[in-house]
Amino acid sequence: MARKKTEIQAIRSDVPIYPIGVAAKLLNVHPRTLRIYEQEGLIKPTLVGNRRMFSADDIQWITCLRTFIHEEGISIPGLKKLLDLVPCWEVAGCPAEIQQQCTAKVDRAVPRTLHPVGDAAARLEAKEKDRQSRGEPGQKKKHQSSG
């Protein structure tokens, strides 16, 4: 019997394959640093169960963030404001071919909001946060009970 050859395909750079400990080692940081970046809204790792998983794209983005923080001297709040105003690829200086394939494009329907393209839940959440930050109608209000 002839054996069928299996073609080996490269893993796409947007596939989350690194748990937080491995990602931290690759970046030469403590896992707590990655959790802080997540809490600050600078990164959004994929959750598999309750484990944070990072892709090669995430690792590259975190490397960019760390360059801005440690070499350019931009604070985390400063980075957040900068990313609110311009797309991440303008901040990082990504070439055009990278911009076209970027999985973290800014949704023009929700300006200043960064989230993975095609993530409907993230888009709705981003729209709601944008409305709340601008105090627009449509935000959820708490009803007070009389009693």
Spell out the domain ranges in the chain.
Answer: 18-90
Q: Which residue has the higher pLDDT, 144 or 90?
A: 90
Are 66 and 27 contacting, i.e. CB atoms less than 8 angstroms apart? yes
- Please provide the DSSP assignment of 23-67 as one string: HHHHHTS-HHHHHHHHHTTS--PEEETTEEEE-HHHHHHHHHHHH
- pTM recorded for the entire structure: 0.60
Question: 105 pLDDT exceeds 60?
Answer: no
What are the distances in angstroms from CA 133 to CA 108, 112, 116, 136, 139? 17, 12, 20, 8, 10
Give me Rg for the CA atoms of the chain: 19
Give the residue-averaged pLDDT of 126-138.
Answer: 62
Question: 46 pLDDT exceeds 70?
Answer: yes
- CATH tag for 18-90 (out of 1.10.1660.10, 3.40.50.720, 3.40.50.2300, 3.50.50.60): 1.10.1660.10
